[in-house]
């Protein structure tokens, strides 16, 4: 039987629900599962996190490590089954020690406004500890412990760092086309880019599966004579079994189209008891199209890949050190208008970098070609994929239909609105622009400053900026954060005789 006819037969066998997927389904779709190496969370998050978020998360992590709240510092157990209920209870309820309100209180960062995050840390830190006290009591008294209890524990833990999730029970299953079939996925938790999350434009950056068991430590199900034995001996990812890997792969593939347009891949989280594993599904728009049409044929070393980190125990202090920064990054990513001093993107860039836009171009007979600076362009000529003009490229998929969105202004929190051309967005990111506006006295000065900064950084396109003040103008003024500086961008913008 040819490989093509085999694939046709497998199409009808592909489970319609990703919770029923097996490793055979991933092999049929030629999704490579990398188990010979454990990636760091930083490596896996690089597909969605920018430099501004990196710097912000690093600063807060350093502050947390220096002034670790006593409640969190006292939570240090090898695993859930070593948690002693009385010891855990004393963390919050000890009249001879600090009051409860101080157990998860974070010291203010000097000259750095993070009040909303600090409040979230304290509230959810206490809830995290209360949930741990509750399920440790259940465990000691012989009561049943469910997956949902660990799910709630993990939700409170991530919310401490500003990362909020939505449970599967609160939303309908997500459907996607794989091999010309409708496949549904209902991960236990989903993480949305909240400012962009509405009924017409939901953006998702991570999905999560939760189970109460802590995963396997070996692979006894592999027969010594099988071809997989040698690969098993080289495995570094030994805590995930084929079932959880296959379910995670199905979830990530099914949700691939709903990810943020800025992501190169989509992120996953696997929670096994109190252990957290990061995963990433990387896939190009062309490869994804082959998967949806049921025609995957990827040369060796190419095609979709799944990567994993090692497990990190949220109850062990040594492991939490490695979780704080990535969770902060995801929390900041989720909260990215200049609202309360932070950038919130209201529009969507229609560029050839967006896999969905690139898909329309290629299906219309156009090509997506990178220029000398690595910028993807339609037929190597136009960076935008939607425009009123450019008549000669209309047959190549360039359309004039805009994306529309309705946002309710909150004048007590919204400081300003910025309208700009792509000459600005190519050299400055959203938070850098917000920081610049934050040091200016009036909107005119802010618009001038922004365009001057773009010219200094070597923009090669026209740059138009309009700054519209709103009710909270000046409320979140930046008096401490430096003006964006980059030696590389200054070098590009420099002129040498």
Tokens 């939700």 identify what position? 155
CA dist 372 and 167 (Å) reads: 44
Closest CA to 26 of 168, 183, 174, 173: 183
Average confidence (pLDDT) over 85-93: 88
Query: To 10 degrees, the CA torsion angle through 106, 110, 115, 117?
Result: -60
Answer yes or no: is pLDDT of 454 > 70.
yes
Between 468 and 409, residue with greater pLDDT: 468
Q: Check residue 457 and give its pLDDT.
A: 66
Q: Check residue 489 and give its pLDDT.
A: 45
Q: Check residue 114 and give its pLDDT.
A: 54
Q: What are phi and psi of 29, to 5 degrees?
A: -85, 0
Tell me how long the chain is. 497
H or E element, residue 468:
strand 465-469
* CATH superfamily placement of domain 331-347+405-496: PPM-type phosphatase domain (3.60.40.10)
Q: Which of 42-46, 73-77, 149-153, 384-388 has the lowest mean pLDDT?
A: 384-388
CATH 3.60.40.10 residue spans of the chain: 331-347+405-496
How many Cα atoms are found within 13 Å in the side-chain-facing hemisphere of 166? 18
Does the CA dihedral 442-443-445-450 come out positive or negative? Answer: positive
270 pairs with which residues across the strands?
A: 209, 277
pLDDT tens digits along 344-366: 767 777 777 777 788 888 888 88
Angle 51-53-59 from CA coordinates, rounded to 5°:
105
Residue 351 burial (10 A CB sphere; 0-12, 13-18, 19+): buried
Answer yes or no: is pLDDT of 338 > 60.
no
| CB neighbour list of residue 167: distance below 8 Å, 6 or more residues apart | 151, 155, 188, 189
For the whole model, what pTM was predicted? 0.66
H or E element, residue 138:
helix 115-140
The answer to whether 251 touches 207, Cβ cutoff 8 Å, is: yes
For 15, 66, 128, the CA distances from 191, given in Å and listed in that order, are: 24, 29, 19
- Return the top range by mean pLDDT from 234-248, 304-318, 341-355, 471-485: 304-318
Answer yes or no: is pLDDT of 497 > 50.
no
Q: What is the DSSP string of 273-332?
A: TTEEEEEEEE--HHHHHHHHHT-----TT-S-EEEE---EETT-HHHHHHHHHHHHHHHH
Closest CA to 434 of 414, 404, 459, 452: 414
Q: What are phi and psi of 416, to 5 degrees?
A: -170, 165
CA dist 447 and 467 (Å) reads: 6
Answer yes or no: is pLDDT of 73 > 70.
yes
Q: Check residue 31 and give its pLDDT.
A: 93
CA dist 254 and 190 (Å) reads: 13
Average confidence (pLDDT) over 192-211: 73
Q: Which of 115-124, 134-143, 383-392 has the lowest mean pLDDT?
A: 115-124
Q: Check residue 169 and give its pLDDT.
A: 77
């Amino acid at each position: 039987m040819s490989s093509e006819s085999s694939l046709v037969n497998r199409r009808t066998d592909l489970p319609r629900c990703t919770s029923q997927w097996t490793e055979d389904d991933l092999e049929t779709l030629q999704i490579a599962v990398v188990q010979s190496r454990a990636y760091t969370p930083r490596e896996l998050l690089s597909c969605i996190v920018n430099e501004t978020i990196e710097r912000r998360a690093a600063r807060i992590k350093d502050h947390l490590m220096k002034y670790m709240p006593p409640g969190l510092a006292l939570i240090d157990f090898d695993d859930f089954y070593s948690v002693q209920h009385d010891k855990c209870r004393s963390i919050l309820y000890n009249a001879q020690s600090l009051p409860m309100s101080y157990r998860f209180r974070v010291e203010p960062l000097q000259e750095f406004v993070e009040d909303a995050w600090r409040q979230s840390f304290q509230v959810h830190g206490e809830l995290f500890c209360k949930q741990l006290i509750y399920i440790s009591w259940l465990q000691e008294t012989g009561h049943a412990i469910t997956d949902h209890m660990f799910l709630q524990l993990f939700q409170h833990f991530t919310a401490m760092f500003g990362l909020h999730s939505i449970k599967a029970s609160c939303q309908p299953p997500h459907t996607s086309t794989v091999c010309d079939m409708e496949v549904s996925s209902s991960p236990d938790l989903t993480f949305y880019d909240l400012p962009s999350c509405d009924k017409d434009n939901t953006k998702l950056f991570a999905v999560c599966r939760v189970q109460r068991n802590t995963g396997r430590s070996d692979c006894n199900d592999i027969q010594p004579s099988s071809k997989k034995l040698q690969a098993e001996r080289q495995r570094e990812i030994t805590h995930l079994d084929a079932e959880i890997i296959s379910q995670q792969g199905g979830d990530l593939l099914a949700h691939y189209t709903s990810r943020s347009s800025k992501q190169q891949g989509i992120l996953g989280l696997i929670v096994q008891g109190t252990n957290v594993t990061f995963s990433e599904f990387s896939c190009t728009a062309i490869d994804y199209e082959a998967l949806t049409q049921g025609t995957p044929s990827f040369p060796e070393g190419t095609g979709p890949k799944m990567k994993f980190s090692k497990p990190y125990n949220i109850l062990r202090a040594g492991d939490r050190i490695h979780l704080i920064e990535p969770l902060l990054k995801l929390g900041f990513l989720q909260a990215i208008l200049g609202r309360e001093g932070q950038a919130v993107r209201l529009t969507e860039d229609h560029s050839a970098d967006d896999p969905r836009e690139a898909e329309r171009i290629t299906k219309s007979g156009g090509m997506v070609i990178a220029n000398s600076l690595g910028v993807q362009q339609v037929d190597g000529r136009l960076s935008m994929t939607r425009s009123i003009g450019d008549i000669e490229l209309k047959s190549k998929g360039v359309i004039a239909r805009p994306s529309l969105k309705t946002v309710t202004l909150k004048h007590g929190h919204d400081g300003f609105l910025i309208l700009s051309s792509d000459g600005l967005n190519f050299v400055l990111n959203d938070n850098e622009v917000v920081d610049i506006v934050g040091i200016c006295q009036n909107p005119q000065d802010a618009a001038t400053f922004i365009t001057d900064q773009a010219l200094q950084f070597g923009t090669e396109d026209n740059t138009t900026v309009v700054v519209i003040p709103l009710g909270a103008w000046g409320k979140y003024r930046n008096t401490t954060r430096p003006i964006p500086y980059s030696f590389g961008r200054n070098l590009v913008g420099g002129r040498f005789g």
